[in-house]
Amino acid sequence: MPDIERLVNDFVAKLSKRKVEGSQATSRLTAELLRSVVSLQRLPPTNSAAVLIEAVRGVGVKLVAANPVELAVGNIVRRVLHIIREEDLSLLTSKTSDLDLSAASDDEGTIDQDFDPTQSAAAAAAAAKSFLQPPSLHALLENMLDKAIPSNNYTSSSGGDSEEKSKADKLARTRKLKHDVIEAINILIEDIDTCHELIAEQAVEHIHQNEVILTLGSSRTAFEFLCAAKEKKRSFRVVVAEGSPRYQGHALAKELVSRGLQTIVVTDSAVFAMISRVNMVIVGVHAVMANGGVIAPVGMNMVALAAQKHAVPFVVVAGIHKLCPSYPHNPEVCLNDMRSPSELLEFGRFSNCKEFGMDSGAPLQVVNPGFDYVAPELVSLLITDIGGHNPSYMYRLISDYYSADDFDLQGRIHK
């Protein structure tokens, strides 16, 4: 439909132009877009779940291709696909149970009608045995022939009524499926909005009196986590690494001071010198991989190695929407984002260096990666909005929130 195409193209343009950045913002907007896709998608009376899955998957492939760095977009697409499968299975299970109950009630009526209290125990046992035995092949064939031959007792009008009723039931089931999927997506959006608060509620269990906490970069999840411990009358100090070259730690330090936390700003290169005085490292990340490793702001692996060297717990706080069912070695996973060299070197100041390099055959090159990969063995604890988990437990969460058929969105489309 043109309405769906317009909505998708608008969001694809925002993603490709980096007008929308950050895991929470992209997750929420992706969920809202997919909710609109489900709402506007026309579904046939039969096989409606498969049609809906293909429509959502097709939109998801476009969104992921627009900005592969934002892994949260693919996570939400897979979550919605899992929701569709779960709701369709729930409706099918409910219908099957209703049929089983009606069949059981019919069988009970038949047994009651055939029961004669005057018959002997041997006759009753024989009747029960014949009832419990499976039907023979001859009886099954006769039953199939009886069903195939139209009965004279049924008129054409009754057959038409039955067909109309069946069609009405299928339409009602399709409407119910779409309604249930939309309601589940609304719950998903609410979970994304409240993930910071749910994670922050666990802060008092991990941060204790007079401790020294180290963090790197600027993460709203980590900020809310630290502020929640402060609100619980915990007195502690926070060491903030500045996060060169974007210096996001400076903004985080100002926000922490405005909330009354004792804050110390250090350079990234001073982390190893400070880590021996630190009780715990608490950081936010960009994504959590299937093996328990994390993709985090650049410089985080250095912090994790320093923490391991001095036996300091390395704690990651992240919403469950950041959990990615892919492994870091998968080719479709974009582990890094090469940012502009201007964050490191100003073009005007080094223009003569560039000209000199071209003449000498050795031009100046500037590499500015945005992320680091931290291996799971360096992570002590992952705190999500559903509780704290060991990195080795990620496989269980993935099985709860994703379907294996949806791990590879691109592969399913090209088949």
Is 411 domain-assigned?
Answer: no
What distance in Å separates the CA atoms of residue 35 and residue 186, rounded to the nearest whole number? 8
Q: Are residues 162 and 238 in the same domain?
A: no
Q: Are residues 220 and 341 in the same domain?
A: yes
Tokens at 159, concatenated: 């057959």
Tokens at 161, concatenated: 């009524």
Q: Are residues 237 and 379 in the same domain?
A: yes
Query: What local confidence, expressed as pLDDT, does residue 132 receive?
Result: 45
Q: Are residues 77 and 210 in the same domain?
A: no
Tokens at 127, concatenated: 């009747």
Is 414 domain-assigned?
Answer: no
Domain boundary among 195, 225, 248: 195
Q: Are residues 391 and 259 in the same domain?
A: yes
Looking at residue 247, which CATH number applies to its domain?
A: 3.40.50.10470
Q: Are residues 171 and 309 in the same domain?
A: no
Q: Which amino acid is at 15?
A: L
Q: Are residues 341 and 215 in the same domain?
A: yes
Q: Are residues 177 and 214 in the same domain?
A: no
The residues pairing with 283 across neighbouring beta strands, listed in sequence order, are: 316
User: What's the pTM?
Assistant: 0.80
Q: How confident is the model at residue 356 (pLDDT cuts 50, 70, 90)?
A: low
Q: Are residues 141 and 207 in the same domain?
A: no
Is 207 domain-assigned?
Answer: yes
CB atoms closer than 10 angstroms to residue 202:
18
Is 238 domain-assigned?
Answer: yes
Query: What local confidence, expressed as pLDDT, does residue 45 receive?
Result: 83
Q: Are residues 183 and 227 in the same domain?
A: no
DSSP letter (8 states) at residue 328:
T
Q: Which amino acid is at 317?
A: V
Query: DSSP of 388-404, one letter per residue?
Result: EE-GGGHHHHHHHH--G
Which of 287, 292, 303, 296 is CA-nearest to residue 370?
296
230-261 as b/e: b if 16+ CB within 10 A? beeebebbbbbbbbebbebbebbbebbeeeeb
* Ramachandran angles phi, psi of 126, nearest 5°: -65, -40
State the DSSP H helix or E strand holding residue 382, giving kind and residue range, or none if neither.
strand 381-384
Residue-range definition of the domain harbouring residue 312: 202-406
Q: Are residues 166 and 52 in the same domain?
A: yes
pLDDT at 366 over 90: no
CA Rg, the chain, in Å?
Answer: 30
Is 353 domain-assigned?
Answer: yes
Report yes or no: 377 and 274 within 8 Å, Cβ to Cβ. no
Q: Are residues 172 and 273 in the same domain?
A: no
State pLDDT tens for residues 198-255.
999 999 999 999 999 999 988 999 999 999 999 998 999 999 999 988 899 999 999 9
Mean pLDDT of 283-302: 95
Query: What local confidence, expressed as pLDDT, does residue 159 receive?
Result: 58
Is 412 domain-assigned?
Answer: no
Q: How confident is the model at residue 391 (pLDDT cuts 50, 70, 90)?
A: very high
Query: What local confidence, expressed as pLDDT, does residue 118 receive?
Result: 47
DSSP letter (8 states) at residue 323:
B
DSSP letter (8 states) at residue 150:
P
Is 337 domain-assigned?
Answer: yes
